[in-house]
Amino acid sequence: MVSETNAAEIERRRAEEAEAESAEIDRTPVRTYWQLVRQRFMKHRLAVFGVIVLIVLAAYAIVVPFVTGDDWRQTQLFRDDAPPELFNEDGEFTFAILGYNENGQNLFARLGKATQTSLTIGLAAVVIIVVIGIFIGSIAGYLGGWMDNLLMRFVDIMLSLPALFVILMITAFFGQGNVWVIVLAIGLTGWTTAARLVRAEFLSLRDVDYVQAARALGAPPQRIILRHMLPPAMAPIVVAATLGIADSVVVESALSFLGFGIGGESASLGTMLQNAQNYFFSGPLKVVYPGTVLILIVLSASFLGDGLRDALDPRQRVEK
């Protein structure tokens, strides 16, 4: 009788122990790097907000100028400073949700075109920044020695130049209002941070075992750089590029605002703001619209950069 209850008791305890043991085993499925990146990213609410805002702005910049065609520069008769309207007197849909400016130009269409111009210039400049940064940084970091010294002194010189002023100089002296001159001016002055980042990554990767193994196997430098060292160094580059978009858009707008950037009849966020300066009293909203778009671009890009920094870092852990 007693032994029977004991046996049942032992049986029960064994089952309990087994259960406890199995509970200790982590049954969450194995997650790949990119799944982890996505999970970490989605936890970063501001970064998700940034992505959504950037996608909306990009869609606005692509779709609206496409749909409204020439409306952004077409001056409508008797529409100067007209309030928002959806249909004109002929009953046609006008997209004039934000009203018209002093020239009778559709502000919603104009803002779309301006966002397109500014974002395009920002992206193009970032491409140049990243390409030059990777090129100079990888040479300096991979070769080291006197080459590294020389290139880094060059970076020091570039950092000692008053950057905005040099950009003003280049745009003013090499063809004012030319989009490509602006892109080049921003790109050629902005690569120093990217180069320093890449160099630092390469210096730490240079003596890592698998890179030495590749070298011992006789891999040529360009293969080691492109296949073995660049991929693990990509995360900080992506983050720097994201933040660089914000910087480039701001510099472009500042240039256009000061009258050195996009000129003539074309629209950028900076020219719209410059123009709006003259209508403080009659149309204060003209300052608000392009300004808001600009702030949204900068904020979202920096949130996105922060989120990517945390998400791409393999040392960061995701709690269940």
Partner 1 sequence: MATYILRRTLQAIPILFGVALVSFAIIQLSPGSPIDRFRTPNVRPETLENLVRLYGLDKPIPEQFVSWITAFVQFWRDDAWGYSLVDGRSVRDTIVDRMPATLLLGGTALLVTIVLAVPIGILAAVRQYSWADKAITTFATIGYAIPSFLLGLYIAYVGTVIFRGAFPSFGMISLTGEGRGTPLDVAWHMVLPVTSLAIQQIAGWSRYVRAKMLEVLNQDYVRTAKAKGLSAAKVTYKHALRNALIPIVTLFGLTLPGLLSGAVITESIFSWPGLGLLGLTAVQNRDYPVVLAFVMVGGFGVVLGNLLADVLYGVVDPRIKY
Among 123, 143, 164, 318, binds partner 1 (CB under 8 A): 164
In the stretch 272-301, what mask flags binding to partner 1 with x, by CB under 8 A?
-x---x--xx--x--x---x--xx--xx--
Among 82, 132, 152, 172, binds partner 1 (CB under 8 A): 172
**CA 311 to CA 39: how far, in whole Å?**
8
Q: Does 173 bind partner 1 (CB under 8 A)?
A: yes
Q: Does 314 bind partner 1 (CB under 8 A)?
A: no
Q: How far is the CB of 283 from partner 1 (least distance, A)?
A: 11
Q: Does 48 bind partner 1 (CB under 8 A)?
A: no
46 contact partners, CB below 8 Å, separation of at least 6: 303, 306, 307
Q: How far is the CB of 7 from partner 1 (least distance, A)?
A: 56
For partner 1, give the closer residue by CB, 175 or 221: 175
Q: Does 160 bind partner 1 (CB under 8 A)?
A: yes
98 contact partners, CB below 8 Å, separation of at least 6: 84, 107, 108, 111, 285, 289
Q: How far is the CB of 200 from partner 1 (least distance, A)?
A: 19
Q: Does 34 bind partner 1 (CB under 8 A)?
A: no
Query: Rounded to the nearest 10 degrees, what angle do helices 107-143 and 230-258 cross at?
Result: 140
Region of 59-67, 134-142, 153-161, 192-200 interacting with partner 1 (CB under 8 A): 153-161
Considering only CA atoms, which of 63, 76, 96, 47 is closest in space to residue 308?
47
**CA 293 to CA 165: how far, in whole Å?**
25
Decide: residue 306, CB within 10 A, 0-12 exposed, 13-18 middle, 19+ buried.
Answer: middle
Q: Does 191 bind partner 1 (CB under 8 A)?
A: no
How many separate helices (H) and strands (E) can be counted in the chain? 13, 2
262 contact partners, CB below 8 Å, separation of at least 6: 117, 121, 177, 179, 182, 252, 255, 256, 268, 270, 271
Q: How many residues bind partner 1 (CB under 8 A)?
A: 40
Q: How far is the CB of 310 from partner 1 (least distance, A)?
A: 16
**CA 143 to CA 233: how far, in whole Å?**
16
Q: Does 149 bind partner 1 (CB under 8 A)?
A: no
Phi/psi of residue 85, each to 5°?
A: -150, 155
Query: Looking up tokens 């790097």, which residue turns up?
Result: 33
Site for partner 1 in 238-277 (CB under 8 A): 246, 250, 253-254, 257-260, 270, 273, 277
Name the residues that contact partner 1, by CB under 8 A.
153-154, 156-162, 164-166, 168-170, 172-175, 246, 250, 253-254, 257-260, 270, 273, 277, 280-281, 284, 287, 291, 294-295, 298-299, 302
